[in-house]
Amino acid sequence: MDTRLLHTFTVLARTGSFTAAATELHVAQSTVTVQIRALERDLGVPLFDRLPSGALLTDAGRRLLEEAGNVLDAVARLRAAARPDGTVRGQVAVGTPESLCSTRLPGLLTALRARHPEVDVHLHAAGTAQCVEGLRSGRLDVALLLEDGADFPDVVSEPIAHEPLALLCAANHALASRTRPASWEDLAAEDFFLLEQGCSYSDELERRLLAVPGARPRLTRFGSVDAARNCVAAGLGLALLPLTTVEDQLRQGRLARVPGPRFPDVPLRLARHRRRWVAPAAEAFTREAVRHFTG
């Protein structure tokens, strides 16, 4: 069996669209159609229901999906073992919170490039839910999660560092100059810019604010740290963000830390699929990430 057909099958199963699969595979849509039909003929069963809304796996397709992943992993292991010089090369798809992309990842990628120049890393800025889905589907090889806990089926994670958080306001905000720490009642009267749903520390902050009797805080969700940070700097409200994302603004006097409740550091977890084989390139990234964040 041509393993290219299995690869096309797994991409189509994940995207649910012949057009999206063709775009990802850099081939014509007709090529995806031909390859899927060839695989269905070879196996003697339909793998997808073709619907106006997209391609939906049949029962046979769902049974095949995990086994197809195992076959593709085995092929990758064979190719890795056949390399005579032991050079680590290949591509690694990494999911990571947007807050880490511009702060902690450049140093990690620089160190990885120096140690393994033939490893290419493709970063995907995503929240926890998207990272977990990416690991399950095979779109991601490794993920970095900012989570207190990560109890997900098929995904295993380990904490490798902790990210301190900062409760922030504009430098000229009334809360910046007060000597008495702000209470939850004080904070519940403010406007907040939180990161998207699924961000553990933003969700916990929302829960604490809404638990204040009679509180009606205005809560706006963003998928971007930059957007939340800029709104706070403009004096429009408060935000809880990783300290590493606001150190420059604090130093420049554009932002100030709000004296108030203490927020525990959030663990940074390295996550991968529980059963899928870790390719040498992904293993190299994992080792460098542990070295970078714990060193």
- Domains in the chain, please, with CATH? 3-82 (1.10.10.10), 90-163+267-294 (3.40.190.10), 165-264 (3.40.190.10)
pLDDT given for residue 81 in this prediction? 63
Cβ(267)–Cβ(71) below 8 Å: no
- Cα angle value 282/283/289 (rounded, 5°): 90
Give every CB contact of residue 122 below 8 A, 6+ residues apart in sequence.
91, 92, 93, 94
Query: Largest Cα–Cα distance of the chain, in whole Å?
Result: 74
**Rounded Cα gap, residues 117 and 105, in angstroms:** 16
- Mean pLDDT by 10-residue block, N- to C-terminus, for the chain (295 residues)? 85 88 90 93 92 89 83 72 68 88 88 91 87 85 85 86 94 90 93 87 92 89 89 95 93 94 92 83 91 84
**Rounded Cα gap, residues 292 and 195, in angstroms:** 26
**Tokens standing for 275?**
């059963």
Alpha-carbon torsion angle 36, 40, 41, 45, nearest 10: -160
pLDDT given for residue 109 in this prediction? 93
